[in-house]
Chains A and B, each alone.
Chain A
Amino acid sequence: MADGLQVPSMAVSRAPYQRHTLPNVQPQSMPA
Protein backbone atom coordinates (compact mmCIF):
# COMPACT_ATOMS: atom_id res chain seq x y z
CA MET A 1 0.00 0.00 0.00
CA ALA A 2 1.15 3.52 -0.68
CA ASP A 3 3.01 5.02 2.27
CA GLY A 4 2.11 8.66 1.82
CA LEU A 5 2.66 10.85 -1.19
CA GLN A 6 -0.33 11.29 -3.43
CA VAL A 7 -0.26 12.85 -6.91
CA PRO A 8 -3.24 13.88 -9.06
CA SER A 9 -4.75 10.81 -10.67
CA MET A 10 -5.54 12.97 -13.71
CA ALA A 11 -1.82 13.53 -14.23
CA VAL A 12 -1.24 9.79 -14.37
CA SER A 13 -4.14 9.09 -16.71
CA ARG A 14 -3.64 12.06 -19.04
CA ALA A 15 0.08 11.56 -19.59
CA PRO A 16 0.83 8.85 -22.15
CA TYR A 17 2.38 6.50 -19.62
CA GLN A 18 -0.81 4.47 -19.38
CA ARG A 19 -0.45 3.09 -22.87
CA HIS A 20 2.91 1.69 -21.86
CA THR A 21 1.27 -0.66 -19.42
CA LEU A 22 0.65 -2.94 -22.38
CA PRO A 23 3.15 -5.77 -22.36
CA ASN A 24 6.48 -5.22 -24.07
CA VAL A 25 5.69 -1.85 -25.61
CA GLN A 26 8.84 0.17 -26.03
CA PRO A 27 8.86 3.74 -24.69
CA GLN A 28 8.71 6.43 -27.30
CA SER A 29 8.63 10.17 -27.48
CA MET A 30 5.13 11.52 -27.76
CA PRO A 31 3.56 14.91 -28.22
CA ALA A 32 2.15 16.62 -25.16
Chain B
Amino acid sequence: MQMTIELRHLDEVRPAAEREVPVVTFTMQRPEARLAVVGEASFQAVLERFSGGRDEDGAIFRHHAAVLMPEPYNRYDHDAVSVRICDELGATDQIGYLAHDDAVANAPILDLVSPAIPMALVTLEGGWDRGPDDRGYFRAELNLGSPAEMAAEWYYHRRPPSTDHRWSGMTVAFVGESLHSIGDVRLDQEARAFLAGRAGCSVERYVGPSVQVCVTGRVEAKSTELRHARRNRIHVVREELFWHEVDCYLHTAERIDPSSLDDGPTSSQPGGLARPEAEGS
Protein backbone atom coordinates (compact mmCIF):
# COMPACT_ATOMS: atom_id res chain seq x y z
CA MET B 1 0.00 0.00 0.00
CA GLN B 2 2.75 2.35 0.98
CA MET B 3 4.59 1.52 -2.24
CA THR B 4 1.52 2.33 -4.35
CA ILE B 5 1.22 5.77 -2.80
CA GLU B 6 4.89 6.50 -3.39
CA LEU B 7 4.68 5.52 -7.04
CA ARG B 8 1.56 7.56 -7.60
CA HIS B 9 3.25 10.65 -6.25
CA LEU B 10 6.63 10.07 -7.75
CA ASP B 11 6.15 12.41 -10.67
CA GLU B 12 4.58 15.12 -8.53
CA VAL B 13 7.54 15.32 -6.18
CA ARG B 14 10.10 15.15 -8.94
CA PRO B 15 11.93 18.49 -9.01
CA ALA B 16 11.16 20.57 -12.07
CA ALA B 17 14.86 21.05 -12.66
CA GLU B 18 15.27 17.37 -13.50
CA ARG B 19 12.78 17.49 -16.33
CA GLU B 20 14.01 17.66 -19.89
CA VAL B 21 14.14 21.15 -21.37
CA PRO B 22 13.87 21.59 -25.15
CA VAL B 23 16.71 23.39 -26.91
CA VAL B 24 17.24 25.51 -30.01
CA THR B 25 20.60 24.66 -31.54
CA PHE B 26 22.79 27.42 -32.96
CA THR B 27 25.22 25.98 -35.49
CA MET B 28 25.68 28.73 -38.07
CA GLN B 29 27.24 31.53 -36.06
CA ARG B 30 30.38 33.18 -37.43
CA PRO B 31 33.41 31.01 -36.58
CA GLU B 32 35.09 33.96 -34.90
CA ALA B 33 31.98 34.93 -32.88
CA ARG B 34 32.63 34.69 -29.14
CA LEU B 35 30.44 35.12 -26.08
CA ALA B 36 32.46 35.03 -22.88
CA VAL B 37 31.68 32.76 -19.97
CA VAL B 38 32.56 34.16 -16.53
CA GLY B 39 32.98 32.53 -13.13
CA GLU B 40 34.63 29.39 -14.49
CA ALA B 41 37.00 29.42 -11.53
CA SER B 42 34.21 27.93 -9.41
CA PHE B 43 33.62 25.09 -11.84
CA GLN B 44 37.14 23.84 -12.56
CA ALA B 45 36.33 20.26 -11.53
CA VAL B 46 33.56 20.05 -14.15
CA LEU B 47 35.77 21.56 -16.84
CA GLU B 48 38.57 19.19 -15.88
CA ARG B 49 36.23 16.23 -16.31
CA PHE B 50 34.98 17.36 -19.73
CA SER B 51 38.49 18.25 -20.89
CA GLY B 52 39.50 14.58 -21.14
CA GLY B 53 42.87 15.51 -19.68
CA ARG B 54 45.46 18.17 -20.42
CA ASP B 55 48.50 18.51 -22.60
CA GLU B 56 50.93 21.38 -22.87
CA ASP B 57 48.51 23.32 -25.09
CA GLY B 58 45.39 22.77 -23.00
CA ALA B 59 42.37 20.49 -22.93
CA ILE B 60 42.45 17.29 -24.98
CA PHE B 61 38.74 17.64 -25.86
CA ARG B 62 38.03 21.32 -26.27
CA HIS B 63 34.70 21.48 -28.04
CA HIS B 64 31.38 20.58 -26.49
CA ALA B 65 27.72 21.54 -26.49
CA ALA B 66 26.50 24.02 -23.89
CA VAL B 67 23.16 25.63 -23.08
CA LEU B 68 22.18 29.01 -21.68
CA MET B 69 19.77 28.70 -18.77
CA PRO B 70 18.04 31.83 -17.43
CA GLU B 71 17.87 32.00 -13.63
CA PRO B 72 15.04 34.45 -12.87
CA TYR B 73 14.95 33.23 -9.26
CA ASN B 74 18.66 33.72 -8.70
CA ARG B 75 18.90 35.38 -5.27
CA TYR B 76 21.73 37.70 -6.31
CA ASP B 77 20.77 38.66 -9.84
CA HIS B 78 17.39 38.14 -11.49
CA ASP B 79 19.01 38.63 -14.89
CA ALA B 80 21.51 35.82 -14.30
CA VAL B 81 22.03 33.32 -17.09
CA SER B 82 24.00 30.20 -16.28
CA VAL B 83 26.08 28.32 -18.84
CA ARG B 84 25.83 24.54 -18.65
CA ILE B 85 27.95 22.05 -20.54
CA CYS B 86 26.16 18.98 -21.94
CA ASP B 87 27.31 15.38 -22.13
CA GLU B 88 26.22 13.05 -24.92
CA LEU B 89 23.30 11.78 -22.83
CA GLY B 90 21.90 15.29 -22.39
CA ALA B 91 22.90 15.70 -18.74
CA THR B 92 24.22 19.17 -18.00
CA ASP B 93 26.65 20.71 -15.52
CA GLN B 94 27.19 24.37 -14.81
CA ILE B 95 30.52 25.82 -15.94
CA GLY B 96 29.84 29.51 -15.31
CA TYR B 97 27.58 32.42 -16.11
CA LEU B 98 27.20 35.08 -18.74
CA ALA B 99 28.59 38.43 -17.62
CA HIS B 100 25.77 40.63 -16.31
CA ASP B 101 25.76 42.97 -19.32
CA ASP B 102 25.75 40.03 -21.74
CA ALA B 103 22.90 38.42 -19.82
CA VAL B 104 20.83 41.59 -20.06
CA ALA B 105 21.67 42.02 -23.75
CA ASN B 106 20.68 38.42 -24.47
CA ALA B 107 17.39 38.51 -22.56
CA PRO B 108 15.34 39.23 -25.74
CA ILE B 109 16.78 36.22 -27.58
CA LEU B 110 16.17 34.01 -24.55
CA ASP B 111 12.56 35.25 -24.60
CA LEU B 112 12.36 34.59 -28.33
CA VAL B 113 13.34 30.92 -28.07
CA SER B 114 11.49 30.31 -24.78
CA PRO B 115 10.37 27.84 -23.49
CA ALA B 116 13.33 26.26 -25.26
CA ILE B 117 16.85 27.34 -24.31
CA PRO B 118 19.77 28.07 -26.68
CA MET B 119 22.43 25.42 -27.29
CA ALA B 120 25.76 26.33 -28.85
CA LEU B 121 29.33 25.22 -29.23
CA VAL B 122 31.54 25.92 -26.22
CA THR B 123 35.33 25.88 -26.44
CA LEU B 124 37.55 25.14 -23.47
CA GLU B 125 40.55 27.46 -23.35
CA GLY B 126 43.56 27.48 -21.03
CA GLY B 127 44.03 24.35 -18.98
CA TRP B 128 47.56 23.67 -20.19
CA ASP B 129 49.91 21.41 -18.27
CA ARG B 130 53.56 22.31 -18.69
CA GLY B 131 54.76 20.84 -15.42
CA PRO B 132 53.79 21.03 -11.75
CA ASP B 133 54.42 24.77 -11.57
CA ASP B 134 52.70 25.73 -14.81
CA ARG B 135 49.10 24.54 -15.06
CA GLY B 136 46.51 26.86 -16.55
CA TYR B 137 42.99 27.44 -15.31
CA PHE B 138 40.27 26.32 -17.66
CA ARG B 139 38.20 29.05 -19.30
CA ALA B 140 35.23 28.68 -21.64
CA GLU B 141 33.92 30.65 -24.61
CA LEU B 142 30.67 30.21 -26.50
CA ASN B 143 30.53 30.39 -30.29
CA LEU B 144 27.66 32.87 -30.34
CA GLY B 145 27.44 36.24 -32.05
CA SER B 146 25.25 39.17 -31.16
CA PRO B 147 21.65 38.59 -30.03
CA ALA B 148 20.59 39.78 -33.50
CA GLU B 149 22.79 37.16 -35.17
CA MET B 150 21.24 34.49 -32.98
CA ALA B 151 17.79 35.78 -33.86
CA ALA B 152 18.70 35.71 -37.55
CA GLU B 153 19.74 32.06 -37.35
CA TRP B 154 16.60 31.22 -35.38
CA TYR B 155 14.53 32.92 -38.07
CA TYR B 156 16.48 31.20 -40.87
CA HIS B 157 15.76 27.74 -39.51
CA ARG B 158 12.06 28.54 -39.39
CA ARG B 159 11.79 30.27 -42.72
CA PRO B 160 14.82 30.38 -45.03
CA PRO B 161 14.91 33.45 -47.30
CA SER B 162 14.22 33.01 -50.98
CA THR B 163 17.19 32.91 -53.32
CA ASP B 164 14.95 33.44 -56.33
CA HIS B 165 14.86 37.21 -56.59
CA ARG B 166 16.37 39.92 -58.74
CA TRP B 167 19.34 40.55 -56.45
CA SER B 168 20.41 36.93 -56.09
CA GLY B 169 24.15 36.59 -56.74
CA MET B 170 24.73 40.32 -56.42
CA THR B 171 26.81 42.21 -53.90
CA VAL B 172 24.87 44.35 -51.46
CA ALA B 173 25.78 46.75 -48.67
CA PHE B 174 23.46 47.89 -45.88
CA VAL B 175 23.54 51.57 -44.96
CA GLY B 176 22.05 53.12 -41.84
CA GLU B 177 20.49 51.56 -38.77
CA SER B 178 17.97 48.82 -39.47
CA LEU B 179 14.30 49.44 -38.75
CA HIS B 180 13.60 45.72 -38.69
CA SER B 181 13.44 43.29 -35.82
CA ILE B 182 13.02 39.61 -35.11
CA GLY B 183 10.93 39.45 -31.96
CA ASP B 184 12.31 42.30 -29.87
CA VAL B 185 15.79 42.00 -31.34
CA ARG B 186 16.73 44.77 -33.76
CA LEU B 187 18.82 43.62 -36.73
CA ASP B 188 22.46 44.67 -36.73
CA GLN B 189 24.96 44.58 -39.59
CA GLU B 190 25.96 40.98 -38.90
CA ALA B 191 22.36 39.77 -38.72
CA ARG B 192 21.53 41.55 -41.99
CA ALA B 193 24.61 39.98 -43.57
CA PHE B 194 23.55 36.54 -42.30
CA LEU B 195 20.07 36.75 -43.83
CA ALA B 196 21.16 38.46 -47.05
CA GLY B 197 23.90 35.85 -47.46
CA ARG B 198 21.34 33.06 -47.15
CA ALA B 199 19.24 34.91 -49.72
CA GLY B 200 22.07 34.40 -52.19
CA CYS B 201 23.73 37.81 -51.94
CA SER B 202 27.31 38.69 -51.19
CA VAL B 203 27.50 41.33 -48.50
CA GLU B 204 30.04 44.13 -48.15
CA ARG B 205 30.28 46.19 -45.00
CA TYR B 206 30.69 49.48 -46.85
CA VAL B 207 29.57 50.88 -50.19
CA GLY B 208 32.70 50.24 -52.23
CA PRO B 209 33.42 49.59 -55.89
CA SER B 210 32.24 45.97 -55.78
CA VAL B 211 28.81 46.85 -54.37
CA GLN B 212 25.90 46.56 -56.80
CA VAL B 213 22.97 47.23 -54.48
CA CYS B 214 22.85 49.68 -51.58
CA VAL B 215 20.11 48.76 -49.08
CA THR B 216 19.06 51.65 -46.86
CA GLY B 217 17.64 51.54 -43.36
CA ARG B 218 17.38 54.72 -41.28
CA VAL B 219 19.77 56.90 -43.22
CA GLU B 220 20.23 60.62 -43.74
CA ALA B 221 20.05 61.91 -47.28
CA LYS B 222 23.45 63.51 -46.77
CA SER B 223 25.01 60.19 -45.79
CA THR B 224 28.44 59.83 -47.35
CA GLU B 225 27.73 56.27 -48.40
CA LEU B 226 24.40 57.18 -49.96
CA ARG B 227 26.02 60.01 -51.90
CA HIS B 228 28.73 57.63 -53.03
CA ALA B 229 26.10 55.14 -54.19
CA ARG B 230 24.25 57.80 -56.16
CA ARG B 231 27.40 59.20 -57.68
CA ASN B 232 28.41 55.74 -58.86
CA ARG B 233 24.90 54.90 -60.00
CA ILE B 234 24.65 51.99 -57.60
CA HIS B 235 21.12 50.74 -57.23
CA VAL B 236 19.59 52.03 -53.98
CA VAL B 237 16.73 50.12 -52.41
CA ARG B 238 14.91 50.57 -49.13
CA GLU B 239 15.42 47.84 -46.60
CA GLU B 240 11.72 47.01 -46.31
CA LEU B 241 11.54 46.30 -50.04
CA PHE B 242 14.68 44.19 -49.90
CA TRP B 243 13.36 41.95 -47.10
CA HIS B 244 9.97 41.80 -48.78
CA GLU B 245 11.44 40.52 -52.04
CA VAL B 246 13.70 37.96 -50.41
CA ASP B 247 10.70 36.64 -48.48
CA CYS B 248 11.77 37.71 -44.99
CA TYR B 249 8.82 38.90 -43.00
CA LEU B 250 10.40 40.89 -40.22
CA HIS B 251 8.89 43.25 -37.69
CA THR B 252 9.41 46.90 -38.41
CA ALA B 253 9.97 49.62 -35.88
CA GLU B 254 8.04 52.12 -37.97
CA ARG B 255 4.85 51.73 -39.93
CA ILE B 256 5.63 51.27 -43.59
CA ASP B 257 3.48 52.84 -46.25
CA PRO B 258 2.82 50.11 -48.85
CA SER B 259 3.27 52.67 -51.59
CA SER B 260 6.85 53.10 -50.43
CA LEU B 261 7.63 49.56 -51.58
CA ASP B 262 9.00 50.70 -54.87
CA ASP B 263 12.53 51.21 -56.02
CA GLY B 264 12.65 54.63 -54.44
CA PRO B 265 13.48 57.95 -56.01
CA THR B 266 17.14 57.17 -56.38
CA SER B 267 16.78 54.32 -58.83
CA SER B 268 18.31 55.23 -62.13
CA GLN B 269 15.91 52.91 -63.93
CA PRO B 270 12.48 53.10 -62.30
CA GLY B 271 10.85 49.70 -62.08
CA GLY B 272 13.99 47.87 -63.03
CA LEU B 273 17.39 47.14 -61.68
CA ALA B 274 20.11 49.52 -62.67
CA ARG B 275 23.40 47.73 -63.05
CA PRO B 276 26.23 49.78 -61.66
CA GLU B 277 28.69 51.15 -64.08
CA ALA B 278 32.34 50.39 -63.77
CA GLU B 279 34.14 52.51 -61.24
CA GLY B 280 35.53 55.62 -62.83
CA SER B 281 33.52 55.39 -66.04
Q: CB within 8 Å of B: which residues of A? A: 1-9, 11-32
Q: Name the interface residues of B69-103: CB closer than 8 Å to any CB of A.
A: 69, 84, 86-94
Q: Name the interface residues of B44-71: CB closer than 8 Å to any CB of A.
A: 52, 57, 60-65, 67, 69
CB atoms of A32 and B157 under 8 A apart: yes
Assuming the contacts A21-B63, A29-B29, asked whether A5 and B17 have C-beta atoms less than 8 A apart, the reply is yes
Beyond known contacts A11-B23, A12-B86, A27-B143: 6 more, CB 8 A cutoff: A3-B94, A5-B21, A7-B21, A15-B27, A17-B121, A23-B62
Chain B nearest CB, measured from A18 CB (Å) = 7
CB atoms of B63 and A25 under 8 A apart: yes
- Complex contacts, B84 vs chain A, CB 8 Å: 5
- Complex contacts, B216 vs chain A, CB 8 Å: none
CB atoms of B69 and A5 under 8 A apart: yes
Query: Which of these, B60, B62, B65, B93, contacts A12 with CB under 8 Å?
Result: B65
A3 to B15, CA, bound (A): 11
| 22 A-B pairs in the complex with CB atoms less than 8 angstroms apart | A2-B92, A2-B93, A3-B93, A3-B94, A4-B17, A4-B18, A5-B21, A6-B19, A6-B90, A7-B92, A9-B90, A12-B86, A14-B25, A15-B25, A17-B121, A20-B63, A21-B61, A21-B64, A26-B31, A29-B29, A31-B27, A31-B28
- Complex contacts, B89 vs chain A, CB 8 Å: 9, 12
Chain B nearest CB, measured from A22 CB (Å) = 8
CB atoms of B61 and A23 under 8 A apart: yes
Instruction: Give the A-B contact count at a CB cut-off of 8 A.
Output: 107
CB atoms of A11 and B119 under 8 A apart: yes
A3 to B20, CA, bound (A): 13
Chain B nearest CB, measured from A3 CB (Å) = 7
Chain A nearest CB, measured from B222 CB (Å) = 37
Assuming the contacts A15-B119, A26-B31, asked whether A9 and B88 have C-beta atoms less than 8 A apart, the reply is yes
Query: Which of these, A7, A22, A23, A32, contacts B28 with CB under 8 Å?
Result: A32
CB atoms of A15 and B65 under 8 A apart: yes
Assuming the contacts A23-B61, A27-B123, asked whether A12 and B22 have C-beta atoms less than 8 A apart, the reply is no
CB atoms of B69 and A30 under 8 A apart: no
CB atoms of B92 and A13 under 8 A apart: no
Q: Is B159 an interface residue (CB 8 A)?
A: no
A2 to B195, CA, bound (A): 37
Assuming the contacts A25-B63, A30-B27, asked whether A18 and B88 have C-beta atoms less than 8 A apart, the reply is yes
Q: Name the interface residues of B1-57: CB closer than 8 Å to any CB of A.
A: 15, 17-23, 25, 27-31, 52, 57
CB atoms of B65 and A17 under 8 A apart: yes
CB atoms of A17 and B64 under 8 A apart: yes
Query: Which of these, B18, B29, B30, B57, contacts A6 with CB under 8 Å?
Result: B18
CB atoms of A12 and B63 under 8 A apart: no
A2 to B35, CA, bound (A): 23
- Complex contacts, B27 vs chain A, CB 8 Å: 15-16, 29-32
A18 to B92, CA, bound (A): 15
